Amino acid sequence: MRSRTLLPLLVLALAAPLSACAASAGDGRPTVVASFYPLEFVTRQIAGDHVRVVDLTAPGVEPHDLELKPRQVGEVADADLVVYESKLQPSVDEAVAQNAKAHSLDVAPLVDLEDRNPHFWLDPLRLSKAAAAIEARLAKAEPSQAHLFAANLKTLQDTLAQVDQQFSAGLRDCERRVFVTSHDAFGYWSRYGLTSEPIAGLSPDAEPSAQHLDQLRSLIEEDHVTTVFSETLASPKMADVLSHDLGVTTAVLDPIEGVAKGSSADYVSIMRANLAALQKANGCRVSP
Q: How far is CA 3 from CA 6, 8, 13, 16, in A?
A: 5, 9, 15, 20
Q: How many CA atoms lie within 13 Å of 133's alpha carbon, on the beta-carbon side?
A: 20
Sole window of 23-31, 123-131, 147-155, 178-186 interacting with Zn ion (rule: CB under 5 A) = 178-186
Sole window of 9-17, 135-143, 179-187, 202-210 interacting with Zn ion (rule: CB under 5 A) = 179-187
Using CA atoms, how far apart are residues 265 and 274, in angstroms rounded to an integer? Answer: 12
Shortest Å, Cβ 132 to Zn ion: 23
Convert residues 184-223 into a mask of x (bound to Zn ion by CB under 5 A) and - (unbound): -x--------------------------------------
Shortest Å, Cβ 268 to Zn ion: 19
Sole window of 40-48, 79-87, 182-190, 231-239 interacting with Zn ion (rule: CB under 5 A) = 182-190
77/252 with CB nearer Zn ion: 252
Sole window of 7-15, 162-170, 180-188, 232-240 interacting with Zn ion (rule: CB under 5 A) = 180-188
Shortest Å, Cβ 37 to Zn ion: 12
Radius of gyration of the chain (CA): 22
Burial of 224 (0-12, 13-18, 19+ CB in 10 A): exposed
Shortest Å, Cβ 73 to Zn ion: 23
Convert residues 137-176 into a mask of x (bound to Zn ion by CB under 5 A) and - (unbound): ----------------------------------------
Q: How many amino acids of this chain bind Zn ion (CB under 5 A)? A: 1
Note whether 246 and 134 are within 8 A (CB): no
23/185 with CB nearer Zn ion: 185
Shortest Å, Cβ 74 to Zn ion: 27
If one counts every other C-beta atom within 10 angstroms of the C-beta of residue 2, the result is: 6
Cβ partners under 8 Å of residue 65, min gap 6: none
99/274 with CB nearer Zn ion: 274
46/185 with CB nearer Zn ion: 185
Ranges within 52-91 binding Zn ion (CB under 5 A): none
184/223 with CB nearer Zn ion: 184
Shortest Å, Cβ 117 to Zn ion: 9
Using CA atoms, how far apart are residues 176 and 95, in angstroms rounded to an integer? Answer: 44
Using CA atoms, how far apart are residues 214 and 128, in angstroms rounded to an integer? Answer: 40
If phi > 0 it is left, if psi is from -120 to 50 it is alpha, else beta; for residue 175 that is alpha
Note whether 127 and 38 are within 8 A (CB): yes
Sheet holding 195-198, edge to edge: 195-198, 178-181, 227-231, 249-253
Residues engaged in binding Zn ion (CB under 5 A) = 185
